Amino acid sequence: MIDVAVLVGSLRKESFSRKTAKVLAELGTPELASEIVEIGQLPLYNQDSDAAPPDSLTKFRERIKAAHAVLFVTPEYNRSIPGILKNAIDIGSRPYGHSAWNGKPGAIVSVSPGAIGGFGANHHLRQSLVFLNVLAMPQPEAYVSGADKLFDDSGSLTNDGTRKFLKQFMDAFAGWIRRCRA
């Protein structure tokens, strides 16, 4: 089994990103064990806390280090990623020289009700992943637009075209992980 830590960049109860993350986990190949790693409980990163980090930071860092791969599912806030996701990335990258992200295969899915599907967030996140040495899957890129029209009241994906695309994305991600780990 390949352990995939899934980070959702939205805390909203009815988050399109969270709904999409759940669908992605369902559509993954049988070898992928995808689990959403909650980030809402993490305190704001403060380097002073690295001397004696709170349990939540230690547990988060250990969880990311244990994962074989990471999948980021995020909305776009002001052409970038939400602060909560940036905070989690910063926590996992510290203390300096001991990044939990280092060398992990990764992928990004950005989700938005807008027409460009969170393009800005997707590419801004890619910039951080380069520095963190996360091996971000280059293709296919995933920008899920019109997210407010893709799910029913129970959170199920209702669009077959989107389901097919997300399945292809997860198949490609599984292949990317295998290549990176070889």
With cut-offs at 50, 70 and 90, classify the pLDDT of residue 14. Answer: very high
The answer to whether 103 touches 67, Cβ cutoff 8 Å, is: no
Q: Domain containing 163 — which CATH number? A: 3.40.50.360
Segment 4-22 shows an average pLDDT of 97
The predicted-structure confidence for 31-90, as pLDDT tens digits, reads as follows 999 999 999 999 999 999 999 999 999 999 999 999 999 999 999 999 999 999 999 999
pLDDT mean across residues, the chain:
97
Total of domains in the chain = 1
pLDDT beyond 90 at 164 = yes
Spell out the SS3 assignment of the chain.
CEEEEEEECCCCCCCHHHHHHHHHHHHCCCCEEEEECCCCCCCCCCHHHHHCCCHHHHHHHHHHHHCCEEEEEECCECCECCHHHHHHHHHHCCCCCCCCCCCCEEEEEEECCCCCCCHHHHHHHHHHHHHHCCEECCCCCEEECCHHHCECCCCCECCHHHHHHHHHHHHHHHHHHHHHHC
Identify the pLDDT of residue 128. Answer: 96
Residue 182 has pLDDT above 90, yes or no: no
Q: What residue numbers bound the domain in which 142 lies? A: 2-181
Alpha-carbon distance of 157 to 147, in angstroms, equals 10
Q: Tell me the per-residue pLDDT of 103-133, one tens digit each, with 9 for 90 and over.
A: 999 999 999 999 999 999 999 999 999 999 9
